[in-house]
Amino acid sequence: MYATEYALLGGNAKAMDTTENALNVIREGLPVDMIDHAGDVLCVTKSDLVPLIGGNLRSFQRKKKDSHLTPQQSEHTLAIIGVLTSATEYFSDRETALTWMKTPQMVLGNKSAFSYLDTMAGISFVNDIINRMKYGMTA
């Protein structure tokens, strides 16, 4: 659960090798500097990413480097990276996946996938669309 996503953010995938370990990492909170890694992976600015996970940019700028995200922000960050992981698996290329996620899509009501990533329901919706594409179902 989220081992690949955690590794993309600079964490040790083995720390997330079981559901229990993943829950412990999430409950402890991701280190705040992983937001910078997430922005790099997603090719978005911190000011675009922080509101998606329910944060305030100014609050994040004041956080100390050794502080942690809340469990909700941590899980949301990992889930957003999970969407990218799923899209990358489908498109076989991260750049193509990112382009798809940032471009308005008819199947998404002419909105980009990123516009849905501010809620867990939106993340689930985008993942459902990606899974339909993976398995040849009408998206």
Per-residue pLDDT for the chain (139 aa), expressed as one digit of tens each? 899 999 999 999 999 999 999 999 999 999 999 999 999 999 999 999 999 999 988 888 887 777 999 999 999 999 999 999 999 999 999 999 999 999 999 999 999 999 999 999 999 999 999 999 998 876 5
How far does the chain reach from its first CA to its final CA, in angstroms? 25
If we measure between CA atoms, which residue out of 74, 80, 73 comes closest to residue 43? 80
Q: What is the reported pTM?
A: 0.93
Enumerate helices (H) and strands (E) in the chain, giving the number of each: 8, 0
